[in-house]
Structure 1
Amino acid sequence: MMSCAPPSARLAARLNDLPFLCDGGLETHLVFHEGIDLPAFASFPLLETAAGRARLERWFARFIRLATERGVGFIVDTVTWRANADWGARLGYDAAALSRINREAVRFARDLVARYATPDAPILVAGIVGPRGDGYRAGRVDVDEAQAYHAPQISTLASAGVDLVCAMTLSTVEEAIGIVRAAAAVDVPSAISFTVETDARLADGTPLPDAIRWTDAATGSSAAYYMINCAHPSHFAPALTSGDDGWRARIRGVRANASTKSHAELDESETLDEGDPSDLAERTRALRAHLPRLSIIGGCCGTGERHIRAICEGVFAPAPLAGRTTPRTASRATLHGDPT
């Protein structure tokens, strides 16, 4: 039977079923551990070759296997963080080429679902959207312009079959509002992941609580949930201990950096600071005391399998496998109420 609930509500209901794991810092792994040149820090060109696709599959497979071991779900990201007009143009991709590569990224992710999903580790596909500019520097952003700019990529990802679109490393409220509105226009659930500086503020100085409140106020709270990524827990944990609970309840996910360094310090570093996986796991576990709906865990810059394993073991208690009734995959049909 066709569900009458809006897409974001159906996604939220699905996320209530069990925790979901994400991968670590793909781009930093490729650059520092595999020696891969990533112009503009873009990983989507790897989809153009068999060798590149094999690298990507090896990366995601290790985290999917970890989710399977723990009996939790997994969210596989499309490698499209840089696959928008301005960044694509720097890499020689025009509008037609970007549409093609975004669709190919979704096909690749769906192939992973078909290959690796199990009854105890359902997989969602998140269509990843990145900032138009540098996510670590504040810039002037107009809401309507942001919506128009991101709409083509979001529409392509939605029509290609993602379960949701997730905007990562956003540093302005205006761009977040534009992305949420663009997603709502094509009836696909959206998630917003802000990045913060060491003072728990966005690059333009906006406090994290205000960023979430203002985005919700301007969009009718239509984003499915919020996340924090590309910052160490020590940067934003202090902001979670005061104020009302409403904005904190909107945060479902955290993908932290391994390093305690600031964005500016990381930009200048010629080596990878992988931090302390055990400490990162403990700090992530401690966040649950202030984030009542935290159920999506992964990593960002500098994190790999050992970080995510430590976090997973520290945050997600082992789930009993016997008698589980979780469906094999959390498919788009399940999330959107389509008949099967």
Structure 2
Amino acid sequence: MVLDGAMGTMIQALSLDENGFRGEEFAGHGSPLEGCNDLLCLTRPGAIERIHDEFLEAGADILETNTFNSTSISLADYALEGRAFDINLAAAQLARRAADRASDRTPDRRRFVAGSLGPTNRTASMSPDVNNPGFRTITFDELVAAYLEQIGGLVEGGVDLLMPETSFDTLNLKACLFAIEEYFDRHDVRLPVSVSVTITDNSGRTLSGQTLEAFWHSIAHADLLSVGINCALGPTQMRPYIEELSRIAPAFTSCHPNAGLPNAFGEYDETPEDLSGTLAEFARAGWLNIVGGCCGTTPEHIRQVAESVAGLAPRVVPVESEEPSFSGLEVLTVRADSNLIMVGERTNVSGSRRFARLVRENDLESAVAVAQQQVDGGANVIDVNMDEALLDGPVAMTTFLNLIAAEPDVARVPVMIDSSDWDVIEAGLKCVQGKAIVNSISLKEGEASFLEQA
């Protein structure tokens, strides 16, 4: 399947000024609107629909909606948070009309619409203040609420699938996936979900520090149609990561790279011939099911990509491993031949009087040092317990987990969230980007409660 290319690149080519973005409806809006590409779904719908048409004519099977920044969180930069639903609804309807026209012209080849859900302009697992590592500008619950609104507009507008993309912080993505499931449950509807992560550079990690394999295991619980990589890198730089993802993910895989790396002027120089040639190599190697383009890719890029992969066999999805895997910034897989898995228990107020005293006295720097000592001593997992009568368990768990997330040597191992209080467990899960271990839930409250919590 062929995905479309860069909506942002095509919008930039329109050379719109402030008035061009405002249109008549927002002529009196109190904040600058130039650069708010998503708003054009309301103020320049014809231009957006023509861009969709160009990508379809180039050979795209899947259109992405022009909604990458259409959460209330991101739209707040333009004082447009109150129009999030409207923008998503309009964007989905525009792409739906364009896709349906193309499908009508070729009834044997249906075109699809993917609702684009960007990562927002906030990060849930990192602090923007180096002097306050436990600080967060956004919470899991705030992300969920914003994504629920966006999803509502996209689904009502007629998308065929949802695509959280350009994920740089896995905790943000987990909030998005949670919101998707919440929306599906509330509205008795279910659509395919495709996700795409961004590997920021040759370190092979996300911006929030996870390796690709750790990222995959953090979201592998979700019911996904596909998982892929997009943005930040050109296809040549993506090669080792696409190969790795193809090996580890028991789902369809996608790749939509930038048109190379940006030059000194922020422009993309990779030609359609070069981009399509590299993606065709990936396809021939059996690594891909979905191909497309990200920043800098035009309809001509997509035309040549579509031609280069036509007739090539799609990747065969591997069988899912039965070995349990967990993750912090790095992955921990428990194999039959694994050595003893060691759990660091000193970050447990019930099991360490010293750690309990440090937490009660708010000496959190020393408390974090205890976690560091545990990992330095060989702990494969860090057990964190805040069940103490004098503590606000959910607050204490959140605060400590946010602090150790800023310590790469500690955060590389999975966390065991240890509590007999479900509120504490839930608070912990909402601030861990990796795949944590829960210790524990039980059938004490009945089977229905157990299954909901699980």
Work out whether residues 177 and 222 of structure 2, in 8 Å CA contact, stay in contact via their aligned partners in 1.
no
Counterpart Cα distance in 2 of 1:240 and 1:255: 10
Instruction: Please state how far the C-alpha of 1:295 moved relative to its aligned partner.
Output: 2.5
Bigger Cα displacement from structure 2, 220-229 vs 234-243: 234-243
**Does 1:86 pair with 2:87?**
no
**Does 1:295 pair with 2:289?**
yes
**Does 1:150 pair with 2:147?**
yes
Structure 1, unaligned stretches of length 5 or more?
Answer: 1-18, 68-72, 320-340
Counterpart Cα distance in 2 of 1:132 and 1:175: 8
Counterpart Cα distance in 2 of 1:40 and 1:193: 27
Work out whether residues 234 and 260 of structure 1, in 8 Å CA contact, stay in contact via their aligned partners in 2.
no
**Does 1:36 pair with 2:16?**
yes
Q: What residue is the counterpart of 2:198 in the other structure?
A: 195
Instruction: Please state how far the C-alpha of 1:243 moved relative to its aligned partner.
Output: 8.5
Match of 2:101 among 115, 121, 125: 115
Q: What residue is the counterpart of 1:223 in the other structure?
A: 224
Counterpart Cα distance in 1 of 2:164 and 2:246: 25
**Does 1:273 pair with 2:261?**
no
Counterpart Cα distance in 2 of 1:279 and 1:224: 28
Work out whether residues 180 and 222 of structure 1, in 8 Å CA contact, stay in contact via their aligned partners in 2.
no
Bigger Cα displacement from structure 2, 156-165 vs 119-128: 156-165
Counterpart Cα distance in 2 of 1:273 and 1:65: 22
Give the aligned residue type for 2:111. Answer: I
Q: What residue is the counterpart of 1:65 in the other structure?
A: 57
TM-score by length of 1: 0.73
**Does 1:310 pair with 2:307?**
no
Work out whether residues 193 and 224 of structure 2, in 8 Å CA contact, stay in contact via their aligned partners in 1.
yes
Instruction: Please state how far the C-alpha of 1:85 moved relative to its aligned partner.
Output: 0.9
Work out whether residues 27 and 42 of structure 1, in 8 Å CA contact, stay in contact via their aligned partners in 2.
no
Q: 1:273 to 1:113 in 2, by over 3 A?
A: closer
Work out whether residues 255 and 297 of structure 1, in 8 Å CA contact, stay in contact via their aligned partners in 2.
yes
Q: 1:108 to 1:164 in 2, by over 3 A?
A: same
Match of 1:284 among 279, 283, 299: 279
Work out whether residues 65 and 92 of structure 2, in 8 Å CA contact, stay in contact via their aligned partners in 1.
yes
**Does 1:160 pair with 2:157?**
yes
Counterpart Cα distance in 2 of 1:167 and 1:110: 18
Higher helix share: 1
Counterpart Cα distance in 1 of 2:11 and 2:49: 13
Bigger Cα displacement from structure 2, 141-150 vs 186-195: 141-150
Work out whether residues 183 and 189 of structure 1, in 8 Å CA contact, stay in contact via their aligned partners in 2.
no
Structure 2, unaligned stretches of length 5 or more?
Answer: 22-32, 128-135, 185-190, 314-454
Q: What residue is the counterpart of 1:210 in the other structure?
A: 214
**Does 1:127 pair with 2:115?**
yes
Instruction: Please state how far the C-alpha of 1:34 moved relative to its aligned partner.
Output: 2.5
Counterpart Cα distance in 1 of 2:236 and 2:211: 15
Q: What residue is the counterpart of 2:259 in the other structure?
A: 258
Q: 1:148 to 1:40 in 2, by over 3 A?
A: farther
Work out whether residues 198 and 236 of structure 1, in 8 Å CA contact, stay in contact via their aligned partners in 2.
no
Q: 1:40 to 1:286 in 2, by over 3 A?
A: farther
Instruction: Please state how far the C-alpha of 1:242 moved relative to its aligned partner.
Output: 5.1
Instruction: Please state how far the C-alpha of 1:194 moved relative to its aligned partner.
Output: 0.8
Q: Percent identity?
A: 25
- CA-based RMSD: 2.8
Deviating beyond 6 angstroms after TM superposition, the runs of 4 or more aligned structure 1 residues are none
Q: 1:313 to 1:106 in 2, by over 3 A?
A: same
Counterpart Cα distance in 2 of 1:88 and 1:244: 35
Instruction: Please state how far the C-alpha of 1:203 moved relative to its aligned partner.
Output: 1.0
TM-score by length of 2: 0.56
Work out whether residues 10 and 51 of structure 2, in 8 Å CA contact, stay in contact via their aligned partners in 1.
no
Bigger Cα displacement from structure 2, 236-245 vs 304-313: 236-245
Aligned residues: 279
Work out whether residues 142 and 174 of structure 1, in 8 Å CA contact, stay in contact via their aligned partners in 2.
no
Q: 1:210 to 1:287 in 2, by over 3 A?
A: farther
**Does 1:186 pair with 2:183?**
yes
1:232-247 correspondence runs (5 A): 232-241=234-243, 245-247=247-249
Deviations 1:4-49 (A, max 9, x none): xxxxxxxxxxxxxxx2x22211212321x33235757432221223
Instruction: Please state how far the C-alpha of 1:318 moved relative to its aligned partner.
Output: 8.6
Secondary structure of the corresponding residue to residue 227 of structure 1 = strand
Give the aligned residue type for 1:132. Answer: T
Counterpart Cα distance in 2 of 1:244 and 1:298: 16
Instruction: Please state how far the C-alpha of 1:143 moved relative to its aligned partner.
Output: 4.2
Instruction: Please state how far the C-alpha of 1:290 moved relative to its aligned partner.
Output: 5.5
Work out whether residues 226 and 253 of structure 1, in 8 Å CA contact, stay in contact via their aligned partners in 2.
yes
Work out whether residues 274 and 303 of structure 1, in 8 Å CA contact, stay in contact via their aligned partners in 2.
no
Q: 1:198 to 1:159 in 2, by over 3 A?
A: same
Q: 1:316 to 1:244 in 2, by over 3 A?
A: closer
